[in-house]
Structure 1
């Protein structure tokens, strides 16, 4: 398809706005929706940097779809902005596992395309993580090491990290700040998710997922290409939990 210089420049300006903030009001870049040729160009620009675009209400988002994208949030950025100063990559992997479990609670075994609940309490989220960690412990060490090769998750270290957290005060209503506890860790995970506009804090220690999160889950999260089978593994943990 041939494009005029004017069309290319319009498309690049739209791409630049999206690349700068990761989103833009649809009224500010209305030509993206109104002009098929410009939209196609913008989509191609995004594809070149391993990103994609989707519309949620009045907002148009641009998000990376794999770690090769220059717009993918780095481990260093996550540690700097959301985790304690001495955090390691293992803290990030544990955070990812907590997020996977959170979304799984909304999507009934990781295989439904639409949410099956409206909200979840932090206490229920914590309980769900604890149950899956206990299911992981049922595997012998050699089996877990083999599983690690398949999913590139160091499950033994993740278990050790979770077990090492002080849970003596888990019954307290609020565990924030620098206390090394499971609840305080989940508070940091929530801050990350809120910063990415993936959850909303609705009070009473309850959270709901946003429309942005629902679109991401539906379009990418459930796809084997992107989750590398990790959701099937977590679903199997659910099955083990249910068989007890």
Structure 2
């Protein structure tokens, strides 16, 4: 009996390993047999991955850089970005995705996302994030870099260097050196990963897969290195400084 359950579990794991997802309706043993589920989770843990599910699918996601399912920077650039992309483009892409989901989830304080987010809203939010970072001294940003492995100063310069003058061009794609075209490249990646859907008028909605991943995995500080907390702590500091400045102004009236 145990051997049968091990083989059932390995079959489920093999299907997850092959495509990264499997329909829940096709793996009833995983849901109905606790021992099968236990073995699947052990197999997944051995390759440093986690399991996430939505209404229809079970997904396999790498949880560590050491996982054999983790894609290298070089492979990622070749598959999803331009030939001229560098590692910092990947990190900026990651930051832009964080900001997009912040638009959906109201700074990560709500359980239900907004109905949709437009490309213009995403661009405005991304500009606002970078402007917020600029308002803080380099020492604060450098101190945060070590703990997060996230080079805030270089990311800020990378975004600043994108040519926003070209954002009004009729055709925006990855070949155009602009902020909006960079977000278009990020959108293309999210569409390929089935994390967003387009609904017209340059508007995006989250898929069930995205909701599951970001609610149960991505927003956990242990996985995002505290990047979200840091970004919104800066926002809170901006508000406090603004209130203090207003109080000081009132005192001197």
> What TM-score does the superposition give when structure 1 sets the normalisation length?
0.92
Secondary structure of 2:197's partner? strand
Aligned to 1:146: 143
Aligned to 2:250: none
Moved more, 141-150 or 196-205: 141-150
CA distance, structure 1, for counterparts of residue 233 and residue 170 of structure 2: 31
> What TM-score does the superposition give when structure 2 sets the normalisation length?
0.89
Secondary structure of 1:204's partner? coil
CA distance, structure 1, for counterparts of residue 157 and residue 193 of structure 2: 28
| 2:153 equivalent among 144, 151, 156 | 156
Task: Tell me the CA shift for residue 174 of structure 1.
Answer: 4.5
Q: Which has the higher helix share?
A: 2
Aligned to 1:67: 65
Secondary structure of 2:61's partner? strand
Matches within 5 A, 1:1-244: 4-112=2-110, 114-172=111-169, 174-239=171-236
Task: Tell me the CA shift for residue 4 of structure 1.
Answer: 2.1
CA distance, structure 1, for counterparts of residue 95 and residue 101 of structure 2: 10
CA distance, structure 2, for counterparts of residue 60 and residue 183 of structure 1: 33
Task: Tell me the CA shift for residue 241 of structure 1.
Answer: 5.9
Task: Tell me the CA shift for residue 75 of structure 1.
Answer: 1.3
CA distance, structure 2, for counterparts of residue 177 and residue 105 of structure 1: 23
Task: Tell me the CA shift for residue 137 of structure 1.
Answer: 1.0
CA RMSD of aligned residues (A): 1.8
CA distance, structure 2, for counterparts of residue 54 and residue 139 of structure 1: 37
1:111 and 1:222 in contact (8 A); partners too: no
Structure 1 residues 102-141: Cα deviation after superposition (integer angstroms, max 9, x where no partner): 11111122233x1341110000000000011111111223
2:118 and 2:204 in contact (8 A); partners too: yes
CA distance, structure 1, for counterparts of residue 120 and residue 224 of structure 2: 26
CA distance, structure 1, for counterparts of residue 134 and residue 153 of structure 2: 9
CA distance, structure 2, for counterparts of residue 239 and residue 202 of structure 1: 33
* Structure 1 residue ranges, 4+ long, deviating more than 4 angstroms after superposition: 240-244
Task: Tell me the CA shift for residue 188 of structure 1.
Answer: 0.9
Unaligned runs of 5+ in 1: none
